[in-house]
Chains A and B, each alone.
Chain A
């Protein structure tokens, strides 16, 4: 059963659900299905019970920053020429911004039909990082194996899973407030000793000693 057939069956059975196929141009051709958050649990339950996707092997998060696209278009304009105003084709750069979002990807397999993976994607409406916009439905009630992996996504990306039985940090400690896999995460400035620094690390190493309010050399440092 290919993805378009799955999509049409889901749309027929679950009225109102908005599905979108994201094609994968690579040779693997693992096309994925974007599901809207409101119908995600219904779609997941249907996939499990009627299409026999009984195993969720992997849950992961992706962070998409807002992207600015600039394209050149030809526009007809009246330009002042040597012989008075004339109409000319002028290149103009048009900029469009694609808003950012956070995404959760579930990889589904069917051990009954021996098919898979079916990548299922859930997207947050935007990337303004408020609690409301970062809330997605949890699929742990559908596939029990999502429990730890959704906790990991919550830990590293800060996505809240509505309906998760035990949403706590998994890898970092409870007092930690950051989400390290987000693209705008800034790690602590502990670049005081970098014996083989280069590129980005070298820049951080330099910044560590140029911004310090105290002495350039730490007290007692040096060998």
Chain B
């Protein structure tokens, strides 16, 4: 429908819309997050829901203690390898449509603990992530921004055709394999269907040559 005609009709008290729009509007206006936090980012997440930043303005005030009632998983904090299977299991227990915000440096990549023996190098190795927020920890404004970005993403979804969202496409998975505790690491260390490392920088991975060792390339 023509946008101008729509606004003219609205002035006359007639509201015209499409099913697509009203469906997306309904979903984006009541995203209920799952009530769980993993580390210090969770403190910022709690602050976001409190009176000062008031996430309730965006329809997300109801933090659900059960994954069965939640739409959004905010991975707020360091995901240790011991916790990762539980995070994936909680994600699998959430009903579709479901979304993931990866909050903070640790949930994105492992952050300051990336080289640790016990920290997962990013939750996107096991579950699909919709919005990433950098920061250590991100400020509440950043989480609100991620929320608005997610709402925008939902608003732009087309319900039919090949680009329809995952929960309307029966061929798309809604559950992902839970990694097992191995003798040295999680098995598998990542889900290759979801996550592949980008092509490495050829200069960076070139074997160190004696001439390069003294040059500025090493600095």
- Contact call B204/A221, Cβ cutoff below 8 A: no
Partner pick for B204 among A172, A173, A202, CB 8 A cutoff? A202
- Contact call A176/B199, Cβ cutoff below 8 A: no
- Contact call B199/A223, Cβ cutoff below 8 A: yes
Partner pick for A205 among B82, B196, B199, B204, CB 8 A cutoff? B204
- Contact call A221/B82, Cβ cutoff below 8 A: no
In B182-207, which residues have CB < 8 Å from any A CB?
182-185, 189, 192, 196-200, 204-207
- Asked if B117 is at the interface of the complex by the 8 Å CB criterion, the answer is yes
- Asked if A129 is at the interface of the complex by the 8 Å CB criterion, the answer is no
Interface string of B157-200 (1 = CB under 8 A from A): 00000000000000000000000011111000100100011111
Could you tell me the distance between the alpha carbons of A76 and B205 in the complex, rounded to whole angstroms? 53
Q: B155: shortest Cβ distance to chain A, in Å?
A: 26
Could you tell me the distance between the alpha carbons of A146 and B63 in the complex, rounded to whole angstroms? 38
Could you tell me the distance between the alpha carbons of A116 and B118 in the complex, rounded to whole angstroms? 33
Interface string of A176-193 (1 = CB under 8 A from B): 111010000101101011
- Contact call A206/B208, Cβ cutoff below 8 A: yes
Interfacial chain A residues near B115, Cβ < 8 Å: 187, 201
- Contact call B181/A174, Cβ cutoff below 8 A: yes
- Asked if B28 is at the interface of the complex by the 8 Å CB criterion, the answer is no
Could you tell me the distance between the alpha carbons of A176 and B198 in the complex, rounded to whole angstroms? 29
Known A-B contacts A175-B181, A175-B182, A178-B184; the reply to A218 vs B196 at CB < 8 A is yes
Could you tell me the distance between the alpha carbons of A97 and B81 in the complex, rounded to whole angstroms? 38
Could you tell me the distance between the alpha carbons of A40 and B90 in the complex, rounded to whole angstroms? 46
Q: A220: shortest Cβ distance to chain B, in Å?
A: 5
Q: A104: shortest Cβ distance to chain B, in Å?
A: 21
- Contact call B200/A176, Cβ cutoff below 8 A: no
- Contact call A187/B181, Cβ cutoff below 8 A: no
- Contact call B185/A205, Cβ cutoff below 8 A: no
Partner pick for A217 among B117, B181, B182, B200, CB 8 A cutoff? B200
Could you tell me the distance between the alpha carbons of A219 and B207 in the complex, rounded to whole angstroms? 22
- Contact call B118/A172, Cβ cutoff below 8 A: yes
Partner pick for B197 among A171, A172, A177, A192, CB 8 A cutoff? A192
A sample of 28 cross-chain residue pairs with beta-carbon separation below 8 angstroms, ordered by A number, consists of A171-B118, A173-B81, A173-B181, A175-B181, A175-B183, A176-B181, A178-B184, A180-B117, A180-B118, A185-B117, A188-B184, A190-B185, A190-B189, A193-B121, A193-B198, A201-B115, A205-B200, A205-B205, A206-B204, A206-B207, A209-B200, A210-B205, A218-B197, A219-B196, A221-B196, A221-B198, A222-B199, A223-B198
Since A187-B115, A206-B208 are in contact, a sample of 12 more A-B pairs with Cβ atoms closer than 8 Å, ordered by chain A residue number, is: A178-B183, A187-B117, A188-B185, A193-B121, A193-B197, A193-B198, A202-B204, A206-B206, A217-B199, A219-B196, A221-B196, A221-B198
B residues adjacent to A (C-beta < 8 A): 81-82, 115, 117-118, 121, 181-185, 189, 192, 196-200, 204-208
A residues adjacent to B (C-beta < 8 A): 171-178, 180, 185, 187-188, 190, 192-193, 197, 201-203, 205-206, 209-210, 217-223
8 closest A-B pairs by beta carbon, nearest first, are: A222-B199, A193-B197, A188-B185, A192-B197, A173-B181, A180-B117, A175-B181, A177-B183
